[in-house]
């Protein structure tokens, strides 16, 4: 029912790139800290190699992923097949956030489409790639991407986004440093 892979091969890469949604989970070191799980969409995920992936981190109401990665680096990405044969893939690794304007961001940015509201690129070096059955994951139809976040970010403009980051993304729920 499950398999662990040596890395992301071409067949698995093809399946991953067909998924319109992925989830990112992180946690702080503190036992009483808040575990974070975030859905991600749009065309924001890239496979950089058999043991490396990255995604565009868009502005959000919180900054948990960035704060957790800065503290301990632990991250897992999960993708589920909502159509076609059932399958769940998990990509475990160590993530690093590269804020907009850093040399690492600038190096990775051409890999992705440009999105208003981008605040960083999260790069993940994988130490475990596995799949499982997904037999209980429901079948669903994709109606399309939502553009609400992009429109919101465009209305804010660069200065408005920076003010928002200062106000809402400076620290995590547990007080860890964010942006």
Q: What angle do CA 92, 97, 101 make, to 5 degrees?
A: 155
> Buried b / exposed e across 148-167, counting CB within 10 Å, b at 16+?
ebbeebeebeeeebeebbee
Per DSSP, helices labelled H in the chain are 10-18, 64-71, 103-108, 148-168
pLDDT digits (tens, 9 = 90+) for 138-167: 999 999 999 999 999 999 999 999 999 999
Domains in the chain, CATH or no CATH each: 3-168 (2.30.110.10)
pLDDT digits (tens, 9 = 90+) for 102-118: 999 999 999 999 999 99
Give the residue carrying structure tokens 């662990």. 4
Please, which residues have CB within 8 angstroms of residue 12's CB and are 6 or more apart in sequence? 5, 89, 129, 131
pLDDT tier at 2 (50, 70, 90 boundaries)? confident
């Amino acid at each position: 029912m499950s398999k662990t892979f040596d890395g992301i091969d071409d067949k698995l890469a093809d399946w991953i790139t067909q998924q319109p949604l992925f989830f990112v989970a992180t946690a702080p070191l503190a036992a009483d800290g808040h575990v974070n799980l975030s859905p991600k969409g749009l065309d924001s995920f890239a496979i950089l190699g058999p043991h490396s992936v990255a995604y565009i981190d868009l502005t959000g109401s919180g900054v948990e992923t960035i704060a957790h990665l800065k503290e301990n680096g632990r991250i897992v990405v999960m993708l589920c097949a909502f159509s076609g044969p059932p399958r769940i893939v998990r990509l475990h690794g160590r993530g690093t956030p590269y804020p907009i304007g850093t040399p690492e961001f600038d190096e990775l940015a051409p890999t992705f489409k440009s999105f208003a509201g981008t605040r960083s690129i999260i790069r993940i070096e994988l130490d475990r790639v596995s799949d499982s059955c997904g037999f209980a994951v429901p079948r669903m139809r994709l109606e399309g991407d939502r553009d609400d976040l992009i429109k919101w970010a465009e209305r804010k403009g660069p200065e408005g986004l920076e003010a928002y980051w200062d106000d809402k993304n400076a620290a995590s729920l547990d007080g860890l440093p964010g942006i």
